Structure 1
């Protein structure tokens, strides 16, 4: 019988604890902000955000709540719909910084090129449709339009980096595709090719639309996506190549090498998005490529242990890992014997936690109180500072590396068109 995962409980005490009392429940699609997480979730996010500054006793705020939650549900995975309770003493400083004098006040934060978001008051209709219409226009566009004149340059630029290309009848990028590009900003380049670009279509052998493929990088052939044209499936498909490309890039660039005793000597990995997915680690070598030169935190759970939710994963990063370490969760039964042996793991009915650098050949076992959140925080801090005893990972076998997907040479099956943002009439 599988015991309760007490270590995960300690890891995510902050994750599973109810959020501060306010107008929106913990089950609400609205992202709940505080002064402590405002910068990480909004100011430093690559996603566009709309933020409601409210007070629970405000009648207009209560009237807005149904429409605001409906907008949040419609924008899920595309942009962030969030709120902060200005009646909470701990949040009053943040509300004051943005000059909030009345409730509800709605502001839109759009990521800027300088690293600071542009901020503007939302003056549109306070309806779900009005908020969605406006927020869709604020989604950053990191999708490159490729044609016969620019395709060579696009393919040659950062050739070691994975590239995702959508062949479509649409002239502009949809909110869904733009949101995907935001999710993988910095790790995968996104492009769109119109059906009229016959030379580019012939280059890739594309005959049907939409066709979505990923070029893994280097000389590897493109791999065509054969699932539904929905964000969850497409994101999972792209993520298979994002980690491998990042690992290859890091290995080629000595300047990105990270000191094993400091987490501040190189840029942190891309921030997880609010709907990010925790990948699995199929082999030592595959895991090494996924982590690159970074220190990773690995949580190995027994079969039947529920995976952390997207909100819990985000909270783990914010409250514990501080955006420093990539975080992975995987069931022990899915790991090879070589992997288990390499990191001192066993197939167990208990949760096991490791901080490790697969590329540098060491790992650290969590040895704190399994019920203490403070012990977990202190352990993470010691790992970050290098003040902890490391254990050596034995050499792993090359043949256990992840086998790249077989290149697809035939045109894909007819797929449903890439859907635009939620239809407004459905709001």
Structure 2
């Protein structure tokens, strides 16, 4: 089975030799970059930005193995598609919106696999259906091997944006009071972001990549009092430029966006060029391309095995992907667990040590929205289970469960059907607002998984130290799709029996 790195190398070599692709699904005015053989090396392989390329079946983040080590090489997401594919056409609006969202942070590219000139490339990448998405993340070490991953998230602009942004490499230095003097040493320019947040935003990570080895980028928390006082910071976030040793710092007063920040930093330095500069590299690349052409001809004689990278995506998207070969295997829907009494609810989700739970608070009687949200969660449960993705558990909580009403009162929600996520251990909860269709719900689940979105403080009175009474043993019917206790470690999970499907959701 080909190694992911070998697949990326094959992708680079094949694209370098192919002629320009015919006009595909994405036009020249589209924010999605339509890549062909002539443009790949310049726009993707040697790009200083993350890229996304075309085929709704496979989206890859591709980074150049030949790019200069000084370049940060941001993440790339690649889409492989066919213009006749209905699912590809359905993905197009969301994909273009994701490209606009990621402007300046990553490139979003596409490859038309229906073009004869691109079929060998798509085959070498293991593309078996449309759309397929893969992410190729560059190594943080100069000359290191890139990491190729399947994109298995929702086919929505928000989910794609979050997935790409979350994987952008981080070259931002965390600066505490004790590290400040060390960070400020040297003559080169430096920039510090003073913020209340403990995480590093995709924007700042992207800036650090653009200016890698040109401008040192650091982040300071508001609790670092000495650093805050030294630079006279009074509000957060605040960006401060230190032009060089012995020079006065300059406080940025514009909007925190990529374009304006780059203009602000231009007074001391220019970012790493994108695409990478021509010249010696171009001369060196020519003989390499010739060697790769010969190598490609040899590889064409032997049919490569399909990449394992495509397997999880295909199984996870079995109900939506258009296959180019045999019919995609489908799975019987695994229903989510139903909470039968108050003690079960406490045991699974409301103990002080409980992790994230997603609860569908539904009427005991049949209702359109109640059935819809349970069906959507069951579809996602099935998808994650068979895709071997470890996420948080889903439960249906009928109104007949005595504590359901008390929970809604404590959270001050009153809808007939409510979808919430809560984490008793960390003391937060979130409320879903929107259509209960599977795509919308999955987008919300992805935001929780990525740690995005507003959180509400969980009332302390609903969190228990222990179960008040010994719960009754659950019947076999309620065990069918029940998850393990939420504090179980994923690595301890064993393959569940055929009749008892278990899924443990990842904790943030």
TM-score (norm 2): 0.44
Mapped to 1, the partners of 2:45 and 2:22 lie a distance apart of 17
Q: Structure 1 residue aligned with 2:166, among 121, 134, 137?
A: 137
Mapped to 2, the partners of 1:89 and 1:161 lie a distance apart of 50
Corresponding residue for residue 218 of structure 1: 245
* Pair 1:83-2:110 in alignment: yes
Mapped to 2, the partners of 1:168 and 1:241 lie a distance apart of 23
Q: Structure 2 residue aligned with 1:39, among 42, 45, 49?
A: 45
Instruction: Indicate if the aligned counterparts of 2:242 and 2:250 stay in contact, CA closer than 8 A.
Output: yes
* Pair 1:54-2:73 in alignment: no
Instruction: Indicate if the aligned counterparts of 2:21 and 2:37 stay in contact, CA closer than 8 A.
Output: no
Superposed displacement of residue 229, structure 1: 2.1
Distance verdict in 2 for CA 1:55–1:271, change over 3 Å: farther
Mapped to 1, the partners of 2:46 and 2:207 lie a distance apart of 20
Query: CA offsets, 1:28-63, max 9 Å, x none?
Result: 111222234142344237111211011112222111
Corresponding residue for residue 197 of structure 1: 224
Structure 2 gap segments, 5+ residues each = 1-19, 48-61, 65-71, 284-449, 455-508
Corresponding residue for residue 126 of structure 1: 155
Q: Structure 1 residue aligned with 2:133, among 91, 103, 106?
A: 106
Superposed displacement of residue 65, structure 1: 0.8
* Pair 1:182-2:200 in alignment: no
Superposed displacement of residue 239, structure 1: 2.3
Mapped to 2, the partners of 1:205 and 1:135 lie a distance apart of 35
* 1:22-421 mapped onto 2 (5 Å cutoff): 22-36=24-38, 37=40, 38-41=44-47, 42-44=62-64, 46-114=73-141, 115=143, 116-156=145-185, 159-243=186-270, 271-273=272-274, 314=275
Instruction: Indicate if the aligned counterparts of 1:129 and 1:424 stay in contact, CA closer than 8 A.
Output: no
**Could you say what secondary structure the match of 1:94 adopts?**
helix
Instruction: Indicate if the aligned counterparts of 1:271 and 1:323 stay in contact, CA closer than 8 A.
Output: no
Mapped to 1, the partners of 2:187 and 2:130 lie a distance apart of 50
Query: CA offsets, 1:154-178, max 9 Å, x none?
Result: 112xx12211101122222222212
Query: CA offsets, 1:155-211, max 9 Å, x none?
Result: 12xx12211101122222222212111221221111011111111112222223222
Query: CA offsets, 1:270-299, max 9 Å, x none?
Result: 7524xxxxxxxxxxxxxxxxxxxxxxxxxx
Aligned residues: 241
Mapped to 2, the partners of 1:322 and 1:119 lie a distance apart of 29
Superposed displacement of residue 140, structure 1: 1.4
Instruction: Indicate if the aligned counterparts of 2:81 and 2:114 stay in contact, CA closer than 8 A.
Output: yes
Highest CA radius of gyration, 1 or 2? 2
Q: Structure 2 residue aligned with 1:21, among 23, 37, 50?
A: 23
Structure 1 gap segments, 5+ residues each = 1-17, 244-269, 274-313, 326-420
Instruction: Indicate if the aligned counterparts of 1:35 and 1:94 stay in contact, CA closer than 8 A.
Output: no
Superposed displacement of residue 19, structure 1: 7.7
Instruction: Indicate if the aligned counterparts of 1:35 and 1:93 stay in contact, CA closer than 8 A.
Output: no
Distance verdict in 2 for CA 1:228–1:208, change over 3 Å: same
Superposed displacement of residue 70, structure 1: 1.1
* Higher RCO, Cα 8 Å, sep 6+: 1
Superposed displacement of residue 87, structure 1: 2.0
Corresponding residue for residue 446 of structure 2: none
TM-score (norm 1): 0.52
Instruction: Indicate if the aligned counterparts of 2:76 and 2:107 stay in contact, CA closer than 8 A.
Output: yes
Instruction: Indicate if the aligned counterparts of 2:21 and 2:118 stay in contact, CA closer than 8 A.
Output: no
Corresponding residue for residue 394 of structure 1: none
Superposed displacement of residue 124, structure 1: 1.1
Query: CA offsets, 1:61-86, max 9 Å, x none?
Result: 11111111111111111222211112
